[in-house]
Amino acid sequence: MDDGLSYPSLRCVLEHIEANKRIRLASRSPVIHDIEKTIPFHLDFLSFDDNAIRLNDICYRLCVNYDEIDESNERYERDKPEEYRLAPGDIQTGSRPNKPWQSKYLEILFEIDSEEIHNRRLPPDWKIHEAEKKMACILLGGRMKIRAKTLTFEFYGESVIRLPECFKVTTSALDTPCGNFESILGIVDPDSYPLRDIFTVIDRPKMLRSPVLRSAKKLFISNDYVDEEFRDEIYKGLWKLENKTVTVQFDMEEVHIIDLFDNWVNSPRDNGSTFTFYMRKEMIMKALETVKKRFNG
């Protein structure tokens, strides 16, 4: 009779099963569940968004929904919130004296390419921040090693990212447009450095002095806006970057382009180094004429 896979063979198979399939297997098999998190976890893509975690092509998203509770529901009087109840002296206006009320609940959506493929209702006493933490811990907590080819944070503005305690990721590409760069680096395993790619925004000049940012092979900076207070200092920091490939996606004036050329002429880079930037169409010819005169044709 076939005894199945040996323990070392099972570990090897689990390590190379696609991450979401592996999580599903572990949820259905006590044997796999007991060992699964001790095995390195490989991802092509790991992304954190508001109320959502994406592993490869599957997104686990928390959503707040509402049930409408009317008179036909046994919960109508039993669970009616205080704001819907009439106290002595109150008057109910409108054509519907027994107005339906809404009951809030949480559910987790399973999505592929933003299309829902499944949903599951969560216990009624869970708060959104508690559910975020639980989801992160179930999917990612307690794992011996997590490797993601690309690690992305899609938060904007002020947010709290709920993560498991002692959470670390080994990655080669970091995409973090949400600011607070140093805090994000706290979850990147030091074995990741130097990174291959960094995609980010620059909100303060000191960020351009980060050894992690400066050591990346490819650096992509995309700002919708540069604070006037820090603009000149940020531009000066950009010119000093020695990454093999630098791409900057925000408007620059002619004077900044000339400064860039001066810096590259006086501080040569390695062969094959590139600095790509974007500027308004009407500025291109003007800047080229100035450069032509500056460097004698």
Domain count for the chain, please give it.
Answer: 2
Residues 32 and 43 in one domain: no
Q: What are phi and psi of 122, to 5 degrees?
A: -100, 160
Residues 6 and 20 in one domain: yes
The answer to whether position 95 is within a domain reads no
Distances (CA, A) of 26 to 89, 130, 183: 58, 23, 32
The answer to whether position 187 is within a domain reads yes
- Over residues 170-194, the pLDDT tens digits come to 999 999 986 678 889 999 999 999 9
What is the value of pTM for the model shown? 0.85
List the domain range (segments joined by +) for residue 27: 1-38
pLDDT at 1: 40
Residues 66 and 1 in one domain: no
- Over residues 112-138, the pLDDT tens digits come to 988 889 999 999 889 999 999 999 999
Beta carbons within 8 Å of 19's beta carbon, 6+ residues apart:
41, 42, 43, 55, 56
- Over residues 206-261, the pLDDT tens digits come to 899 999 999 999 999 987 777 778 888 888 888 889 899 999 887 777 777 778 87
Planar angle of CA 222, 59, 12, nearest 5 degrees:
105
Residues 251 and 120 in one domain: yes
The answer to whether position 77 is within a domain reads no
Contact of 196 with 218, CB cutoff 8 Å: yes
Q: Where are the alpha helices (DSSP H) in the chain?
A: 7-15, 19-28, 30-35, 75-78, 128-140, 181-185, 211-215, 231-239, 254-266, 281-294
Contact of 170 with 151, CB cutoff 8 Å: no
Predicted confidence (pLDDT) at residue 95 exceeds the cutoff of 70: no
